[in-house]
Amino acid sequence: MSAKPDFSELNVLIIGDVMVDFYLFGEVNRISPEAPVPVVEIMSKEYRAGGAANVALNILQLGAKPILLSMIGRDNTGNILIKLLKELGVRSNHVIQHKARTTTLKTRVFDEDKQVVRFDEEEVDDLETTQENLMIKEFRKILTNDKVDMIILQDYNKGVLTKYFIKQVLLLATKNGIPVSVDPKERNFFEYQNVDLFKPNLREFSEAIGYRINPKSYESLKSGAEELRRKNRFKNLMVTLGSNGIFCFTKEGNSFIVPGKAIKAADVSGAGDTVISIATLAFIKKYGMKEIAQFANKGAAAVCKKVGVSPITLKELR
């Protein structure tokens, strides 16, 4: 792949679950007298945009234009997210705030660079029919008013991507000739039929086909991919294998492992968001799957060295 890729003219529509990641950074110097738990003395706090919003940030930092479509609550966390997006330069006009939803808030407490505990406040029920219809209407509006080069469906099982909504997106994408990449989760795994680029991680891949895949065995990965293709007819598959790299199974039937580089990871959260962002942009640019995977490996390694959810920048990638 070119050492200096240029994604500046690309427009990517990201649809999926957004959330707020709240970080409490501090130090542990003693154990609580009330219970055998560490006392974290908080030094700093930070809000970051997570989930599909982090994908939008990755797309933006890589030089392309993100269009973010999601639904959140009309609550304090939702207001924080809208403010964050505006500050970071991501348009929030297609992020619908609805009084009957709760915005996901993930709070992580750190002792220096080690995570001590995480707690989540969220609602994971599927959108109701009226909410679903609002999302479909907004999606149609984007297709009418914006140039969309590719769609990313970023599923975190928080209820925005319902089975019906997924079907509508895929139908309209096909009708408009727009390629689709998917970062799936278990609940809707087989709803993503015939997509251009399908990117589960190893655990999701293994659970979907019902048996444990050995990430170091090419044969195990290949037979799993063949079985998965029979079930959801993906065109291209990328399975992230953590430190073992990425396994690819292409539209032409070629398959290979692109090895990862061993790194000292500070935090793996958000690495999948970076991989789908890089892979989507490179896919639009018609790079081969091997190059796409090499590029994605490099990006994931860079963000894993950072503490907390952080997007990759074009400068880091170059």
Catalytic residue set: 273
Evaluate whether 207 touches 186 at the Cβ level (below 8 Å).
Answer: yes
Encode 211-236: b = buried (16+ Cβ within 10 Å), e = exposed: eebebeeeebbbebbeebbeebebbb
Rounded Cα distance, 162 and 170, in Å? 12
3-state secondary structure of 273: helix
Rounded Cα distance, 146 and 62, in Å? 19
Evaluate whether 158 touches 185 at the Cβ level (below 8 Å).
Answer: no
Rounded Cα distance, 308 and 291, in Å? 27
Give the residue from 240, 269, 239, 203 showing the smallest Cα distance to 50: 269
Rounded Cα distance, 278 and 276, in Å? 6
CB neighbourhood size of 318 (10 A): 9
CA count, 13 A, side-chain hemisphere, 298: 16
Q: Token pair of 50, please?
A: 């997570």
Q: What is the 3-state secondary structure (H, E, C) of 207-253?
A: HHHCCCCCCCCHHHHHHHHHHHHHHHCCCEEEEECHHHCEEEECCCC
52-61 vs 271-284: helix crossing angle, rounded to 10: 50
Evaluate whether 19 touches 122 at the Cβ level (below 8 Å).
Answer: yes
